[in-house]
């Protein structure tokens, strides 16, 4: 997955370097680059046992914090 993130980051950086997009788009490309840099940095420092599927981990965290679902009678 890190390879895919790096490819998207390179693409966004190439679009920034080309300077042929409107200002609103260049800000979005910059946001993509910054977010991917943060994600890659956090993965490098993350616990290897928890470096699995991010969606699965996020879902698990949300379910742990919620009370059990109770259906009306």
Q: What is the DSSP secondary structure assignment for residue 11, as one 8-state letter?
A: H
Query: Does residue 41 sit within a domain?
Result: yes
| Number of compact structural domains in the chain | 1
Over the stretch 19-31, which tens digit does the pLDDT of each residue have? 888 888 889 999 9
Q: Is residue 22 in a domain?
A: yes
Helix and strand numbers, DSSP H then E, in the chain: 3, 0
* Length of the chain counted residue by residue: 73
Residue 15 lies in a domain: yes
pLDDT higher at 17 or 73: 17
Residue 72 lies in a domain: no
Position 35 scores a pLDDT of 92
What is the CB-side half-sphere exposure of residue 23 using CA atoms within 13 A?
A: 0
Is the predicted pLDDT of residue 50 greater than 80, yes or no? Answer: no
Indicate if the pLDDT at residue 68 is higher than 80: no
Instruction: Give the global pTM.
Output: 0.56
Sorting pLDDT into bands at 50, 70 and 90, what band is 73? low
- 28: containing domain: 2-65
């Amino acid at each position: 997955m890190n390879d895919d993130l790096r490819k998207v980051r390179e693409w966004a950086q190439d679009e920034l370097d080309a300077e042929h997009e409107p200002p609103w788009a260049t800000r979005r490309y910059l946001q993509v680059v910054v977010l991917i840099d943060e994600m890659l940095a956090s993965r490098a420092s993350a616990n290897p046992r928890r470096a699995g599927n991010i969606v699965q981990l996020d879902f698990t965290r949300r379910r742990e914090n919620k009370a059990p679902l109770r259906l009306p009678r």
